[in-house]
Each structure stands twice: as structure tokens, then as C-alpha cells.
Structure 1
């Protein structure tokens, strides 16, 4: 299982099998948004089969806790802090967070998208444009991101993401910024979407979508029967049956467009609608926090800089910008 820019790195080494004949026979170009199929290709040839789509920019909330606190679900960051204040006054932890660098980075990604918008996100966190990384918008993103920390609890450092989700499930906390793998925790606890928990786009990101697509690449093999088995597997992975069963179990959605969604829950239906809409509007964007947007060396360095800022009280947003801009040069 290789994904994102790592696919290009492996393909460059010449070890991945070309899947063009399967892709052509199965019409992958028509069944996938271009931004996704481009990631599955190297020099114009398919080298991977996409399995699913996880949406990263979600906010999960406990509606009962919100109601008791007299708070309303936020649609932008100003409203987020108003809700957080109300939750804090009601004696609950406003934001369930696990202080691990990838969770900090996941939060940062949603703040960057919500404060800066899709074009800013693309320039700063996909193209790593130096001017955008040091812009006034980036400073506002970092200031907003750091403010979120004020509404997390002191036991957050080192906490696993699923334990943070459990805090929202049991009413200890009001909300969590996390990708749609969090949904599996709610469902496993017997909770019903729209009733016991709510899934809304992270503040300010309703018209945008950061994706994390898992994919399978096949290594080049010499043997005919094995090559055929690889092709059959690739075709099956993109087939409607696998796409439905796999994603119903994983909490993600089918990557294949125009799939019937009647067996899926409301969160998945929203995710699919937004996936299709943003693929047309240009706001379907690769997740930097989940290995989809930039080479792994740059991702790791930026992630470390973001966490350092989150964890260092004395560091200013300007210092963090310099560190992130320097980190972006790591290729």
C-alpha cells in the first residue's frame, strides 16, 4: 500500500507495474476525478489503483453537549471560538485533541483551508510557494491554529486520536477536528449520525475537501499468470462491489464516481456529494497531513515545525512561518 507523492518516488525507481490496460478496459479516467487519477499516474501511465477516499476536513460534535451549553455548530472560525467559549463555560472540554504531531498537523490543515481558502491552501501547502508561506494570510492561519490549543485539555499531549473521539462520544468534550476514520468510533459505540453525533465540514471549509486516498501499487513481475492476477486484483479494487463493501467497513467513501450510496450513512452521503462538487469546482485538494500533497521529506519537516509552534508558548506566528518556509525546502 503506497500512496500520494510516494507513488511517484517508487515509480521513478522503475519498480512499479504499468496498469494502463486495466485502467483503459475499466474506464478509470471517466470514473475518477482528474486530481485523483493524476496522483495514480506516473508520466501519464497508471501505476496504482485507488481504494477509497477519506475526507480530512471534518468537525465531529456531540449535539447534546452543544445544546446544554447553548452553543451552535460553527460554520467559520469566529463561530468556532464562540462555541468553544460556551462549551468551556458549561464545564466541558471544548476541543478533544491528541497531542501527536500528525494530529496537530491535521488540525493545522483544516485551519489553513478554513482561514485561507482553497487557492491559498493549494499555493501554500501543495505547491509550497515561498511567498504564500510567508504571507499575512499564513500568519492569520497560524494565530488561529494556536488559539485552538487554548480550548484543549492539559492531558492532550500524547493522547491517541481514538481516545479523543471517545471524549466526544461520552460527552466529556464538545467537538473534535479529525478525518472520517473518527466516524468508525462513533458507529462502533452504537451512535447514530445526525442524532447522537454530528459531522460537519471543519469551520470555513464547507465548499472545499482535503482528501486522503489509499491506493495499491503492484510491483513489476516477470511471470505471465502473476501479472494476470495483478490485473484482476486491480480491476476488482476499482469494481463497484469492492468499493461498496470496503468503504462501508472503513468509514471512507468510494473513490469511483457515480456509485449508488443508499447503503451509506448521512456523513458518507455528504462526503460523496462534496467530493463530486469540489472535483468540479477545483476545491478538491490533497491532504498535506496525510501524505497526499508534498514529498515525504518536506511533509515531515513542516509537520515538525507546526507541532513545535503548537507546543512552544513563546514561539510567535512569525517565527513559525520562518520555520515552515525553511522546512518546505526539504525535498
Structure 2
């Protein structure tokens, strides 16, 4: 009993010390969450941190894939003026850590027991040489198909579960005067569609060999040719205004019933929710055709940069702890459309889309069908990923390039160092 009282007193004292220190702390946070659902999610993190007495300096750079944000970040780091935290993920975390600019946050991870709260596949991405250098925020499923049930009813079509069914539904939507597939012509969006086609046509093992291991034989195989042919056919069901369109504007087309479907990660759900729409009633979430038993994941995370000011370092550590807290994980992911990265969370407040996503995340981790998204920077180094995405977009936008020519381009791009 005496020991328990002593521990309680120590905890209270530590809390008072933290409260005193935290008043002066400021965290500048670089992110690209600027659309409706995303902005609400970012506000939740800001509120959580301000609740600890810190100042939040927002450093938002628009652009769904984060390319613009990374350009700005590089110039800031080179000039010796890095933010406290920046939205970085996947292999890029290792690349930044190798530059010696990221902070070791093992003390926070150990105090908060991150190793027992994160799936190993996620924890390993957050570490460099065994040390935590980033805090994971969520798990996004990328291989989703979003559909407007009213549009489908009007067209007399059913939500597809295979690519053959997808084209049948697309033809019916088109005949009813509805744009079959809402798409934004940016290379990360092109590749989001491409990897769902690759997973649906080729399966998880082919996906891993071709797009994660970049196996040349798989990249030049008949399966890849079939993937590319199917992918190009999807393009024919997009509208002429697709090039350059932001992803959330494509989602808005489905929300309004101007388009029937969108192939996009579950951040799209955040847009439906922000528009006051209810899952199962106003919109349908389904695995992308042919991918029901697979899961392409995208884990958002914040890399912590080395800081000199002690008060700001304290604020940074509080930010890392706040990101993994149950309260924040719930509020943030309810707004973002994703699921908590923290295991064993109560999902009572989450909708059926999220519950299905969570179940499939756990199941596919056991079967080997849990695969990283290339389009969202989780699978291969940035140079190769960029080159492959460029090759895929060239094919998507070309009237003349054949699938065989595209295969050769992609295989060459995969060798980019």
C-alpha cells in the first residue's frame, strides 16, 4: 500500500512537472490534410496537443499525395529549419533517418508500450536500426470501391465484386447518363487504381512479387499484360475532365450522384461523413473488384525531427504520446475514415466499413495477403516508386502505347535507384 501511495505521489509530481514544462512548448507540424474530412482529423490532433498546454503551429501544404509537402520539407531541412514533426511514411522514413535528422523517441515508445500495441509489420516501419523515429497515426485500406446506391438503382446495376462485373456495371451507368468512375488524373491516383487492378487480377502473391519485390519476370509476365489491359479499359469509363482533378473532388462526384463509383482509399469515407452521408444508406463501401480477401495498407505517420529547444522537445514527445492515445486514435480515425493503428481498440463508435476494414486487416496479416501500397509510399524506395508511377500514368494517358510497351517501361522504371 505504501509503495502504491509513493507511486501515485511520483506520478502526480511528474504530471505537475510536465504541466509546468509544457506551457512553453511549440510544435510545428507539416502535413497535407487540407480536405474536409482530413482537416477535421488534423484539428483533433491540434486540440489534443493544446489540451496539454502546448502551442500548435500548423504547416499545411495542400496536395493529396504529399509530393508538394515533401518538396517544401526538403528545403526546410537543408536550411537547418526543420519542423518538429512531418507527415512521412514507409521507406521514406528510413531515407530521412539515414540522413541523421530524425529524433530517437524510444523513451516515449517504451513508456507507452508501443511494441505491444502495434502489429509488428507496422512497428518495423516506424523504426530505424531498432529505434522508433516516427509515431503511426492510423491504418488506411487503399483497395476500396465507393459507390452511390441511388446511381446504381437508377442504372439497374449491382455493385461489382469482380472486374467482369465492374465493366457490366460501368456500361449500365454510362447508358443511364452517369459517369461510371470518378477519377482524378494525378499519377498517385492513377497508381491507386492500378494497384487495385493488379491485386484483383493477379492476386496477393503476384502483387508482392511484381510491385513490392520488383521481380523482373513478374513485371514482364502475361499476368502483368492482363493487369495493364484491364487497367486501360477502366480509363475508358472516366470523364474527359479527370486530368488534374483532386481526389476529394472526384469523391464529391460520387456523393452528388454525378458518378457511380470511385476507386480510392478509405480517406474518401471521411468526405462522405463530412457531407453528412451515412454508410450503407447514402454510400456503399466494398473491396475493389477481386480483392475482398486482400488488403493494401497505407499507414500515416509523423516523423520526429531533431530539435534543440528543450521545451519544444518536450512538446514533441507529448505529441508522439498523444498520437497513440486511445482518445486521439478514436476521434482522429472517426474523422479520417481510417481505422486505429493501435490494436485492441474499442470500435463501438465506428461504422460497418471500418469494422470490416479492421477485421480484414487482422485476417490478412495472418494469411499473407496484407500488402503495402506502392501508390502511397509504403512499399518501395521513393526513386523507383516515382519512376514506376510515371510509367503507369504515361500508359493511362496514352492513346497509342500498347500493354507490351507499358510493361517494358515499368520493368525499366523498377530498376531506378
What is the TM-score normalised by the length of structure 2? 0.76
2:166 corresponds to which of 72, 80, 92: 80
Determine if contact 2:269/2:336 at 8 Å carries over to the other structure.
Answer: no
Aligned pair 1:168/2:250, yes or no?
Answer: no
Question: What is the alpha-carbon distance in structure 1 between the residues aligned to residue 124 and residue 265 of structure 2?
Answer: 22
1:184, distance to aligned residue in structure 2 (A): 2.0
| Unaligned 5+ runs, structure 1 | none
- CA deviation profile, 1:197-250 (whole Å, cap 9, x unmatched): 001110111111111111112223456655444333222211111111111222
Corresponding residue of 1:313: 399
Identify the residue that residue 330 of structure 2 maps to in structure 1: 244
Q: Pick the aligned partner of 1:127 from 195, 210, 213.
A: 213
Q: How many residues align?
A: 331
* Range with greater deviation from structure 2 (34-43 or 224-233): 224-233
> Alpha-carbon deviations, 1:104-155, whole Å to 9, x = none?
1110011111111111111111111111111111111111100101111222
Cα distance in 1 between the residues matched to 2:93 and 2:364: 23
**How far did 1:26 drift?**
2.2
Q: Displacement of 1:289 after TM fit? A: 0.5
Match of 1:184 in 2: 270
Shift of 1:196: 0.8
Structure 1 match to 2:71 = none
Question: So what's the TM-score if we normalise by structure 1?
Answer: 0.95
How do 1:37-186 residues align onto structure 2 when only pairs under 5 Å count? Answer: 37-186=123-272
Q: Identify which of 255, 261, 269 aligns with 2:341.
A: 255
Can you give the 5+ residue segments of structure 2 that lack an aligned partner in the other structure? 1-86
CA-based RMSD of the aligned residues comes to: 1.6
Deviations 1:274-300 (A, max 9, x none): 112222222221110011111111111
8 Å Cα contact 1:70-1:86 kept in structure 2: yes
**Partner in structure 2 of residue 193 of structure 1:** 279
Counterparts of 1:251 and 1:47 in 2: how far apart (Å)?
A: 25
Choose between structure 1 and 2 for higher RCO, CA contacts under 8 A separated by at least 6 residues: 1
**Higher Rg of the two aligned structures:** 2
Bigger mean CA offset, 262-271 vs 224-233: 224-233
SS in 2 for 1:53: strand
CA contact (8 A) 1:93 1:151 kept: yes
Question: 2:197, 2:230 within 8 Å by CA — same for their partners in 1?
Answer: yes
